[in-house]
Amino acid sequence: MRLLKPMGSYLQNKANKYLVLGVVCLVIFLVLLATSIDVLPLYVDVGRYATPRGIALGLLVVGWFYFLLREYPSWRAGIAGERKVIKTLSSALSDEYSIINDIMLKSGVHGNIDHIVVGPTGIFVIETKNHKGRISYYGDNWEGMGRGRPPSSQVRINAMRIKKILDSSEGLKSKAFYIQGVVVFANDKAELIEKKPPGHIKVKRIDELAAYIKSEPKRFNAVEIRQIEMKIQDNIRKHQ
């Protein structure tokens, strides 16, 4: 498989932000704590401000837990999941296929697209999740995924963004029909329970993804694949 764009810094920047915020909360907490214990040399008697200092200590503990123990590991897991998808597809798909990773489009919509695979069997817009445990879904209603937009809704929006790009080119307009949104779970410990499939979206485990892509009917020749790749690349932000 041809790598047209490697992973960018989007997820890493998010992870680093929460790491820094968590460390800042921890450092400030330790300093305030040291000024609160009367047997320590840094102790400061703040009088009537002792209660606000106690509240601040509590908020800092919450911030440290949220940023460092919840958000940071979550974003790091996302990075690991996307790397696993790239590695899996790279070893399973031939050079007829290409992959574009960590895409920020020039359009004003915020948020990145995890992966786009272009090949003879179609255009696959992929949303990677690295969650584990019991995950069930009934259409776009998901349980076990935590907060945030449902992954099926997220990848559907991203697929429509790519469709809009192809629709803007008269020569590629007919190719937009073959865009497929896919939610892939990279964690082997994810237990997926389908109650009702989400509309127009496929949900796959990572060990099913390459086989699914290759099983679709052939739709594009090499020239068309290159035209699609160039059109998508022309709409990617140069600095992410």
The residue assigned the tokens 């892509």 is 213
Domain ranges for the chain, please list them: 2-234
The pLDDT tens digits along the chain (240 residues) read 999 999 888 888 889 999 999 999 999 999 999 999 988 888 888 888 889 999 999 999 999 999 999 899 888 999 999 999 999 999 999 999 999 999 999 876 667 899 999 999 999 999 999 999 999 999 999 999 887 889 999 999 999 999 999 998 888 878 777 899 999 999 999 999 999 999 999 999 999 999 999 999 999 999 999 999 999 999 998 765
Q: Is the pTM of this model over 0.75?
A: yes
Nearest to 82 by CA among 133, 49, 117, 48: 117
Q: Which two tokens stand for residue 114?
A: 């995890």
Our CA angle for 181, 226, 180, nearest 5°, is: 10
Q: Could you tell me if 109 and 119 are in contact, meaning their C-beta atoms sit under 8 angstroms apart?
A: no
Q: Could you tell me if 227 and 235 are in contact, meaning their C-beta atoms sit under 8 angstroms apart?
A: no
Task: Using DSSP, state whether 112 is helix, strand or coil.
Answer: coil
The residue assigned the tokens 């140069």 is 238
